[in-house]
Chains A and B, each alone.
Chain A
Amino acid sequence: MFLAEYQSKEVLAQYGISVPDGRQARSPDEAQRLCKEIDAHKFVVKAQIGAGGRGLAGGIRFAATPSAVAQEAGRLLGDVLVTDQTGPAGETVELVLVEAAIDIVQSCFVAIALDPADGAPMLLASGAGGVEFEQRARMDEDTVHTCPLPEDSAEARAALADFLSGIGLIEAQAAAMDAIYAARKAFIGNDMTLVEINPFARTAAGDWIAVDAKVAIDPNAGFRRPEFASMVADRPAPADELAAQKHNINLVRLDGNIGVVTNGAGLGLATNDMIVDAGGRPANFMDIRTTASSMDVARGIEILLDDGRVSAILLTIHGGGMTSADTVAEGVNFAYAKATRKLPVIACISGKHAEWGHRILRDRNVPVESCDTITAAVTRVVDVAGQGRAR
């Protein structure tokens, strides 16, 4: 659960990390007006969306004067940004952050996460950060260096200094370490799963500034971090995905026309792989959680039936412990009983109560075609969805 940039910076600033002076604006006029409050000789206007990859998608614009700020804000607000992390529909920009532009002498990357190997906090860092950093890091694993990040102490600082020197973070090192330990405190104290500061920038004066920051709060710790609930509520997320989430279904929008219904994340990924291999395009990823009731499943199916892009539905269900196949079939039946748009269903149902599941779909007049293997069901649904498009 990522916080928006301005929220991330607010949290980090509370721990003493320097961030650029900035204000949020929802209109070009407001953006221009707020420039007066910002002590700067030039500005930067940044789209506030949930996904990364924003810089390369044109979501960060520099402006020399308040009127230029208004112009850039006008271009961004209401625009849809498509980055490599938003999905094909992109995200509409409803808020911009107007900030003092920083004269950067050195751009670094620093992040804190828990090490999957031993569970302890670790620092990920690079002496060369910046907008294209993610792409570069993806190409070359050696871009990011890691070291354990135990609590602040003289001994820990000595080890950290060695590490930072090794990656080329040498100037104003003590100040950089202060910022890193402050970020660690924020990370531990707020159930964060990631703090990422990029660029972590050094100015000519020797200050380290979090020019951009991304904080992820553990959604599973929401019960003890109620203060973040309102922050996340502010954040735009696809309505369908939120609705599904309320019904114990993990849904991710994709750009195809085959609605996919599966119980389990692995089974969902496996099914979508097979659809693409067979020449089809999934409209979504779906994982019905074990806690979902048949009414929850029905809501998930309704979301797919209401989606005009979807022309056929594939069920890949393996009945397990608590979500047995009949629970899912019952959910499909509920949704179809109410629906006006009854799309063809291709089903591969196995596992606990599979027979029962088949019978429910057949007897209640859901337009279902059953297949014995996932391969057969996928082949068939790709065919049916293709015909649906032609019609």
Chain B
Amino acid sequence: MAIFVNSETRLIVQGMTGRSGTFYTDEAMRYGTTCVGGVRPGKGGGKHLGLPLFDTVQEAVDATQANASLVIVPAPQAGAAMIEAIEAGLGVVVCVTERVPQHDMSRVKQVLQGTDCVLIGPNSQGILTPGQCKIGVMPTVNALPGQIGIASRSASLTSEILAQCSKAGLGQSTTVGIGGDTLHGVGFVDCLKAFRDDPETEAVVLIGEIGGRGEEEAAAYLDTVDYGKPVVALVVGRHAPRGRRMGHAGTLSVLGGGTAADKIARLRAAGVEIAADADDVVAAVSRARAQAAGTAR
């Protein structure tokens, strides 16, 4: 099952002919993702990596029955590319592009309102359902199919934790990178809801950081439901100085954006098992599972 993407996903790549687009489309195909075409205005009718090229997303969808898109275009064009994909009715749009202007994301989010589209990113490593579908820029060497759902704000930390999980035999149902920007598509709450409905997911790991309100919103959501699955969270930036941007745009807390301590306190109060640091996630999953088993008994 997994969430958002699986073996039924039919992917087109917007920006497939570029250097990054070529590299990651090739990697996705090698991993087994069903890639059905690419979009590059002006190159419609051509072929790249053995796949048909189209001028517009709509033409690509009409011709290939694609249901997902990877947006991997330069930042100035990323907003318009996401809007084109959303308006073409794709179910999943993944944008890995970094440095998309905020006001462009403002327009994207307003187009997104009221649609069923799942937007992942921008500035995200993408989404990976091990063994079935990779859409994004994450490494797959350490991915293992399994029952842990992961949602995170940062790419390399997630890869590190995913590697630790796999090493301990904890495979993953789906890993979603919600991205490091202030304005993004799906958030922790959307991922929690989807993982809750996914029978294959047995436990969820959230990887958060200072800034923004995503972790607080996750805690508020978990407060209101009987979630039914163990949830573990790692929140990094506990010792980062306030008011200074640490890599991700979203880490800068201009106005009251949550501190790590506050996020941790709220998540803990909502019943989430807190991982003390990046090396404690696997143990935290065990603790949360043991606790859940104890409560069930």
Contacts and interface: CB of A to CB of B under 8 A. Distances in A.
Interface of A: 51-53, 84-85, 87, 111, 113-114, 116, 118-121, 124, 137-138, 141, 144, 188, 191, 193-194, 196, 216, 218-221, 223-224, 250, 252, 254, 262-274, 276-277, 285, 287, 289-291, 318-322, 350-352, 373-375
Contacts of B247: 250, 264-266, 268-269, 285, 287
Nearest to A278: B277
Contacts of B7: none
A85 B110 contact: no
Contacts of B255: 111, 113, 124, 137, 144, 196
A84 B247 CA distance: 19
B125 interface: yes
Question: Which 6 A-B residue pairings sit nearest by Cβ, starting from the closest?
Answer: A266-B154, A265-B247, A119-B109, A264-B156, A266-B157, A287-B247
Contacts of B237: 269, 273
A267 B139 contact: no
A265 B163 contact: no
A65 to B, nearest CB: 35
A197 to B, nearest CB: 13
Contacts of A193: 102, 182
A272 B237 CA distance: 8
Nearest to A85: B243
B239 interface: yes
A114 B278 contact: no
Interface SS of chain A: mixed
Q: Which of A51, A223, A318, A352 neighbours the largest number of chain B CB atoms within 10 Å of its CB?
A: A318
A268 B103 contact: no
B248 interface: yes
B209 interface: yes
A85 B113 contact: no
A374 B103 contact: no
Contacts of A194: 254
B154 A351 contact: no
B279 interface: yes
Interface in B233-263: 234, 236-249, 251, 254-256, 260
B239 A273 contact: yes
B110 A267 contact: no
B105 interface: yes
A273 B246 contact: no
B291 interface: no
Contacts of B106: 114, 119-121
B238 to A, nearest CB: 5
A289 B212 CA distance: 21
Contacts of B68: none
26 contacts: A51-B243, A84-B243, A85-B241, A116-B212, A119-B108, A137-B256, A193-B102, A218-B103, A220-B75, A266-B153, A266-B155, A266-B248, A268-B246, A269-B154, A269-B236, A270-B234, A273-B238, A274-B279, A285-B246, A290-B98, A291-B98, A322-B137, A350-B163, A351-B142, A352-B141, A374-B278
Contact of B279 (A216, A224, A289, A375): A375
Contacts of A196: 254-255
A43 B249 CA distance: 37
Contacts of B24: 321
Contacts of A375: 277, 279
Contacts, number: 200
A120 B102 contact: no
A238 B255 CA distance: 24
Contact of A273 (B98, B154, B236): B236
Given A191-B101, A273-B240, A287-B246, 10 more contacts: A113-B255, A114-B102, A114-B103, A219-B99, A250-B245, A266-B207, A276-B239, A290-B155, A350-B163, A351-B159
Interface size class of B (residues with CB under 8 A): 35 or more
Contacts of B159: 318, 320, 351
A191 B102 contact: yes
A274 B244 CA distance: 19
Interface string B197-240: 00000000001011011000000000000000000001011111
Contacts of A121: 106
A321 B277 contact: no
Interface in B246-292: 246-249, 251, 254-256, 260, 276-279
Contacts of A120: 106, 109-110
B78 to A, nearest CB: 10
Nearest to B280: A375
Contacts of B76: 223-224
A137 B243 CA distance: 14
B66 interface: no
A289 B241 contact: no
A272 B251 CA distance: 15
Q: Which of A113, A276, A287 neighbours the largest number of chain B CB atoms within 10 Å of its CB?
A: A287
B28 to A, nearest CB: 11
B139 A320 contact: yes
A271 B243 CA distance: 19
Interface string B108-149: 111001000000000001000000000011110110000000
Contacts of A124: 255
B171 interface: no
Contacts of A287: 246-247
A252 B236 CA distance: 16
Contact of A218 (B102, B212, B244): B102
B180 interface: yes
Interface string B22-42: 011001000000000000000
B278 A270 contact: yes
B241 A269 contact: no
A321 B137 contact: yes
Contacts of B109: 118-120
Contact of B154 (A116, A264, A272): A264
